[in-house]
């Protein structure tokens, strides 16, 4: 993808604070971190989101999440880790190149990722269960 900033970073056309790299991924520090150590896992090959992710990645995405989360826990004494991956503008995706946020967390660090939940009736829950099940 010619105009994709994360393609350029992943393939070293633009420099980055890289913490890890292998054949499939580059892991960089987010330029505007939720907390110090906030990492982004970028596939080197362009793909936009979970709906288009190529099958070679499916088996290894969780492995790299675990590797980076474990390193952040050890290196930064993280007490918790958030793993977050936005798909589509409506979900807060601002860069259209698949990426996974790995965010180190500490007690009372004032990072607000968790929003208050909505209240649904039991009929509404049941209707949603039926709709989702019909697609599986």
Per CB under 6 A, the list member of 95, 106, 109, 111 interacting with ligand 5GP is: 95
Q: Give the residue closest to Zn ion by C-beta.
A: 4
Least Å distance, CB 15 to ligand 5GP, is: 10
Instruction: Check binding of 113 to ligand 5GP (CB under 6 A).
Output: no
Instruction: Check binding of 15 to ligand 5GP (CB under 6 A).
Output: no
Establish whether 38 is a catalytic residue. Answer: no
Rounded distance between C-alpha atoms, residue 104 and residue 130, angstroms: 36
Instruction: Check binding of 103 to ligand 5GP (CB under 6 A).
Output: no
Q: Which structure tokens are listed for 43?
A: 């596939």
Report the 3 state secondary structure along 35-85. Answer: CCCCEEEEECCCCCCCCCCCHHHHCCHHHHHHHHHHHHHHHHCCCEEEEEC
Per CB under 6 A, the list member of 92, 118, 121, 134 interacting with ligand 5GP is: 92
Per CB under 5 A, the list member of 26, 97, 99, 105 interacting with Zn ion is: 97
């Amino acid at each position: 993808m010619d105009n994709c900033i994360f393609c350029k970073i992943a393939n070293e056309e633009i420099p980055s604070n890289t913490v890890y790299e292998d054949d499939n991924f580059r892991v960089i520090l987010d330029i505007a971190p939720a907390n110090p150590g906030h990492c982004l896992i970028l596939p080197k090959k362009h793909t936009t989101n979970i709906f288009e992710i190529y099958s070679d990645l499916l088996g290894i995405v969780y492995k790299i999440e675990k590797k980076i989360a474990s390193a952040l826990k050890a290196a930064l004494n993280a007490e918790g880790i958030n793993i977050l991956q936005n798909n589509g503008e409506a979900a807060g995706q601002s860069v259209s190149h698949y990426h996974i946020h790995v965010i180190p967390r500490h007690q009372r660090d004032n990072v607000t990722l968790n929003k208050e939940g909505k209240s649904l009736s039991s009929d509404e829950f049941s209707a949603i269960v039926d709709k989702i099940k019909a697609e599986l």
